[in-house]
Amino acid sequence: MNTSRSTFVLSFIAWLPLMASAAIPPATQDFVLDNGLKVVVREDHRSPIVTAQLWIKVGSSYEPPGQSGLSHALEHMVYKGSSKACAGEFSAILEKLGASENAVTGTDFTVYHQTLSSGRAGVAFEILADLMSTAKLDAQDFTPELKVIQEERRMHVDDEITVLAHERLNSIAHPASGYRTPTIGWMHDLQRM
């Protein structure tokens, strides 16, 4: 009995350094490019993938009254094409590479992200750079996209009582702040855009 207990205790002690090293997160490196873009790199070699994220300080809390939902609409519009690709072309390229992509607008940010094979990281950065610098923001694409966003609001907000309640609570809790505005926008603002 004592031998078993001693073996267990010694085995446990031997595993402690391994468990401690597994709990230490990878180091994060921050630097700023010549164009002012802040880059944060966190390497984790457990999988041969890379996730590229572009965080922009644009969200619903920055929108002036009467223009709620504009940040979210812009997030949609960025995918309508650029100087290098027409609408959907970059998504098709990423899909062929087995990548996943998405974008999310919040109250204080908009983030565009892609996850793909680490050997293709350059593709992710090239696409993000092109979309951010040469996105085609054509008026002819804006009106149909607003219809999509209005329908998105109907489905995910107007038809969901708990989401409506949360939206109403925010508007009451933050009456003089941009945080009173829903990220997707008020329907009356979307209809006036």
Per-residue pLDDT of the chain (193 residues; tens, 9 = 90+): 566 666 665 566 666 566 655 566 778 888 888 888 888 888 888 899 999 999 999 999 999 999 999 999 999 999 999 999 899 999 999 999 999 999 999 999 999 999 999 999 898 889 989 999 999 999 999 999 999 999 999 999 999 999 999 999 999 999 999 999 999 999 999 999 9
Cα 9 to chain centroid distance, Å, stands at 46
Note the pLDDT of residue 76.
Answer: 94
- Residue 49 — φ and ψ, nearest 5°? -130, 165
CATH 3.30.830.10 matches 28-192: yes
Note the pLDDT of residue 39.
Answer: 85
Q: Delimit the domains of the chain by residue range.
A: 28-192
Which residues are catalytic, by number?
Answer: 75
Note the pLDDT of residue 28.
Answer: 86
In sequence order, what are the beta bridge partners of 110? 56, 105
